[in-house]
Amino acid sequence: MQKLTKALLVAALLPVMAIAQDSTQFIKGTWNELTSRARKEQKPIFIDTYFEGCHACKDMEVKVFPRPEVKKYMEENFICTGYDVFKEQFGMDLCRKYYMRGFPTYLVISGDGRLLDRSSGYQEPDKFMAFLKGTVASHKAGKTLSGFGNSLASKDPDFYKAMWDKGYQGGDKDQIFGYLAKQKDKTGESTFKVMQMAATLPDDYRVFYLGNRQAYLDRFGRELNGNIMEKLLRQDIAALPATLDKAAFEAFLQKQQAVYRPEDWADAQMYYAENYLFKKCKDTRAFLEFAAAHPDGNENRVRYMQFYLGAELAKDAALKAQYLKWASAVVTADASLENLMGLVRMSKGVDPAATKKFLGWVIARKKAWGDDTTREEAELKGLSI
Q: How does the average pLDDT of the chain come out, rounded? A: 93
The mean pLDDT of 190-211, rounded to a whole number, is: 98
Q: Does residue 169 have a pLDDT over 80?
A: yes
Burial 229-241 (b: 16+ CB within 10 A, else e): bebbbeebeeebe
Q: Does residue 23 have a pLDDT over 70?
A: no
**Residue-level pLDDT at 25:** 78
Q: Does residue 116 have a pLDDT over 50?
A: yes
Q: Does residue 155 have a pLDDT over 50?
A: yes
Between helices 352-368 and 337-347, what is the axis angle to 10°? 150
Cα separation of 228 and 193, whole Å?
10
The pLDDT-based confidence of 385 (bands split at 50, 70, 90) is: low
User: What does the pLDDT look like over 6-19, one tens digit per residue?
Assistant: 333 333 333 444 44
In a domain, 24, yes or no: no
Q: Does residue 97 have a pLDDT over 90?
A: yes
The mean pLDDT of 190-214, rounded to a whole number, is: 98
Q: Does residue 316 have a pLDDT over 60?
A: yes
In a domain, 218, yes or no: no
Domain final residue pick, 107, 141, 175 = 141
**DSSP result, 96-160:** HHHT--SSSEEEEE-TTS-EEEEEES---HHHHHHHHHHHHHHHHHT---TTS-SSS-----HHH
What's the number of domains the chain is made of?
Answer: 2
**Residue-level pLDDT at 12:** 34
In a domain, 23, yes or no: no
**Residue-level pLDDT at 383:** 86
pLDDT > 70 fraction of the chain, expressed in percent and rounded: 93
Domain final residue pick, 83, 110, 141 = 141
**Residue-level pLDDT at 24:** 64
Q: State the pTM of this model.
A: 0.90
Q: Which phi and psi angles does 375 have, rounded to 5°?
A: -65, -45
In a domain, 75, yes or no: yes
User: What does the pLDDT look like over 243-262, one tens digit per residue?
Assistant: 999 999 999 999 999 999 99
User: What does the pLDDT look like over 329-375, one tens digit per residue?
Assistant: 999 999 999 999 999 999 999 999 999 999 999 999 999 999 999 99
**Residue-level pLDDT at 19:** 47
In a domain, 61, yes or no: yes
The domain that holds 102 is classified in CATH as: 3.40.30.10
Instruction: Look at phi and psi of residue 51 and say left if phi exceeds 0, alpha if psi is from -120 to 50, else beta.
Output: beta
Q: Does residue 384 have a pLDDT over 80?
A: no
In a domain, 252, yes or no: no
**Residue-level pLDDT at 14:** 36
Cα separation of 297 and 319, whole Å?
20
Domain final residue pick, 141, 162, 178 = 141
Higher pLDDT, 217 or 10: 217
Q: Does residue 237 have a pLDDT over 80?
A: yes
User: What does the pLDDT look like over 79-92, one tens digit per residue?
Assistant: 999 999 999 999 99
Range of the domain at 72: 31-141
Strand order in the sheet with 115-120: 17-21, 24-28, 79-84, 45-50, 105-109, 115-120
> Which is nearest to 102 in space by CA: 61, 54, 145, 62?
54
In a domain, 62, yes or no: yes
Cα separation of 266 and 298, whole Å?
9
Higher pLDDT, 264 or 8: 264
In a domain, 201, yes or no: no
Higher pLDDT, 324 or 171: 324
The pLDDT-based confidence of 4 (bands split at 50, 70, 90) is: very low
**DSSP result, 56-86:** HHHHIIIIITTSHHHHHHHHHH-EEEEEETT
Q: Do residues 79 and 43 touch, judged by C-beta distance below 8 A?
A: yes
